[in-house]
Amino acid sequence: MIEHQSTINPNMPLRLLEYVTRIYGNRIDSKTKFSNQLIPLAKPEFFVFYTGKENIPPESYLYLSDAFPKDPSENHLSDSELTLELKVKVCKIKGEEPSQIVQNCPDLEQYVQFLKLIDKAKADGQAQPLTRAIREAVHHNILKDYLERKGGETLSILTAEYDYATDIAVKQEEAYAIGITTGREEGISIGLERGAHQNKLETAKNLLAE
């Protein structure tokens, strides 16, 4: 399971835990869970491809157990104390000293080149930087086959991604307005939950189209 992030989110293990339990739940007949036969499960691996500007190691890890209460003097809970864990490998795929995974995967390496074209188009002040980046990529044979077939869908997904930060800011303002208008502190939480739900719907639509 792979997430693409431009910021390091410490809650990624929790989010990926939600995703993988849904996948297992959808693939397994509910009746078989009560059978005496062991149900074989696909072994999961969890990755975050980091594309931000923060100076982080080429590869690092996030742990679900980091969110668990623990003794302040301990950095991590011991293995004997853990009854649930999820380990996420964070791979830096842009900038200097990227993860080795980029060199081992030609498609991922081309994807990084494509992201650089987007950054350059934005830095140059192009009126339509995403469209320009797609054209440049096809011209230079970067993900050419994919972008020629899926260019429109890619543009839609990338537009949604770049609008995400603005959308969150708007939802936070709406949440604050709800709290003021209703005179209830929980109004802010209600607004944020609505915003998060809407973002999940938009992400799901983009993934379905992909």
Higher pLDDT, 157 or 146: 146
Residue closest to 191 by CA, chosen among 200, 182, 178: 178
> Tens digits of per-residue pLDDT, 142-151?
988 888 887 7
Which residues on adjacent β-strands are paired with residue 49?
A: 4, 91
Q: Name the E strands within 18-123.
A: 47-50, 59-63, 87-92
Residues found in the chain? 210
Q: What is the rounded (10 degree) CA torsion for 105, 111, 115, 118?
A: 160
Higher pLDDT, 157 or 148: 148
pLDDT at 47: 95
pTM to 2 decimal places:
0.64
Start-to-end Cα distance in the chain: 16
